[in-house]
A = this chain, B = another copy of it.
Amino acid sequence: MPAYATNMRLKFPIVALVLEIITIILFAVFAVYDDGKSHGHHDAHSNETHHEEVAPMELYPMFQDVHVMIFIGFGFLMTFLKRYGFSSVGFNLVLAAFGLQWGLLTQGIWHLDDGKIKINIFKIINADFSTATVLISFGAVLGKTSPVQLLIMTVLEITIFSINEHLVANVLGANDVGASMIIHAYGAYFGLAVARVLYRPSLRNGHENDGSVYHSDMFAMIGTVFLWMFWPSFNSAIADPGFSQLTAVINTYLSLAACVLTAYAVSSLVEHKGKLDMVHIQNATLAGGVAVGTCADMNIGPFGAMLIGFVAGIISTLGFKFLTPILASKLGIQDTCGVHNLHGMPGILGGLAGIVAVALGKKKGGDAAMQAAALASSLGFALVGGAVTGLIMKLPFWGQPPDQNCFDDSIYWEVPEEDEENEESLAHADHSKNKAEV
């Protein structure tokens, strides 16, 4: 397959090392520890400035919850593919590890203090958040992109994210505490735009490796459950301390709980013989966390949060069942993980709920028009940014895998070979076979 040039020996190391060296130089120039004496500290996702009084380590447990969501949650959620587990959790790790450094820079540049980015727990939470956009988009193109392509996507997507975030939070002054719009909708539509540009007609009828086996679905549930449990931290981490934060926790907790019931109910309703489908359970149970994000710290009432989760679980499950196949066949959007159903539509739902809630006066000082502008901005940056990024990723020298090697670790990883002498060990024979082919 010389046309594809999938051999990564020089390309990937060079890109990774050059990016890391540039990043370290930028940190040497711009980054210092926050000594607590700054006066120019602004919230990234809200227009309040209440965080100065916080003790340096106050948010640390919240940070760790978000950290687990990024590295275990997103990483394992994508391990459902039978032969793509190494790549799912492994590329997730390297993209997020680079992305958080890049996000610290691109977010920090808007909030310089004496020309410096002062790093604290609040900033590293936001850096982790910025990587979530990339990990969502990664889900859309999972199995069809090389690590070099993904590193390039990381640089571009986080840079554009930081511009849109600044616009939404600081220019428009919109509310999006749980980031339904600026992370979930943005990450999903960015990824879908990339997927559209990278459309592979020959995969229209599926691919033999684009499916799960029993234990890969179990690994994916580790990701699902960690995301589900810690989502209240995601939605409340950067809320104002005290009762706003408590409100965000309770709303997210209840929205997710309600969402689980509707995801299960609708999965059983639409599937053959009323059976449950692991794809729905792994993903649609989380839609309540996405959809309640924008309103999480608003006074929508416990029952309002549950209604949002209730609707999100239904929309998301129906999306997996009916919309994803249509997107692939009619629009040429091959969305491997169905991020449109988990992050796209629930993200828009969250943005719309935010407009309504602000219009109903559920958030002091909110402005429904600005909420609407924030949603439009997030979608616009996502679609345009994703399309441009997709075009750059399509350049032939980034090592994009050929169709027949999609969804297969063995193109980028040393996959364990079975012992030839031991004829009983057939369990993973498929892997060794595959490896030989490459």
Interface set of A (CB-CB < 8 Å, partner B): 7-14, 16-17, 19-20, 23-24, 27-28, 31-36, 55-57, 60-62, 64-65, 67-68, 71-72, 75-76, 79, 82, 85-86, 89-90, 93-94, 97-98, 100-101, 119-121, 124, 147, 208, 211-215, 217-219, 221-222, 225-226, 228-230, 233, 241-243, 245-247, 249-250, 253-254, 256-258, 260-262, 264-266, 268-269, 271-278, 281, 285, 299, 301-303, 306-307, 310, 412-416, 418-419, 421-422, 424-431, 433
Contact = CB atoms under 8 A, between A and B. Distances in A.
Copy number in the complex reads 3
A299 B33 CA distance: 9
Contacts of A219: 215, 218
Nearest to A27: B303
Contacts of A13: 265-266, 268-269, 274
5 A-B pairs with least C-beta separation: A9-B274, A8-B274, A97-B260, A28-B303, A13-B265
Contacts of A230: 64
Contact of A306 (B24, B218, B418, B430): B24
Nearest to A65: B64
Contact of A212 (B94, B229, B285, B416): B416
Given A55-B242, A414-B278, A429-B424, A264 B36 contact: no
A131 to B, nearest CB: 10
A225 B247 CA distance: 31
Determine chain A's interface SS by DSSP, over half rule: helix
Contacts of A28: 301, 303
A249 B94 contact: no
Nearest to A25: B303
B241 A57 contact: yes
Counting chain B CB atoms within 10 Å of each CB, the highest count among A11, A67, A121, A285 belongs to A67
B89 A221 contact: yes
Counting chain B CB atoms within 10 Å of each CB, the highest count among A262, A266, A303, A419 belongs to A303
Contact of A268 (B12, B245, B262, B276): B12
Given A16-B264, A20-B265, A212-B416, 16 more contacts: A9-B274, A13-B265, A24-B306, A72-B229, A75-B221, A76-B222, A85-B214, A90-B278, A101-B257, A120-B250, A147-B264, A208-B419, A213-B428, A278-B414, A424-B426, A426-B426
Nearest to A31: B302
A276 B414 contact: yes
30 contacts: A16-B264, A16-B265, A24-B306, A27-B254, A31-B302, A33-B250, A36-B243, A56-B243, A57-B245, A67-B229, A72-B222, A75-B221, A86-B217, A90-B221, A90-B276, A93-B225, A93-B260, A94-B260, A97-B256, A98-B260, A100-B257, A213-B416, A213-B427, A214-B431, A222-B222, A272-B414, A277-B414, A424-B426, A425-B430, A426-B427
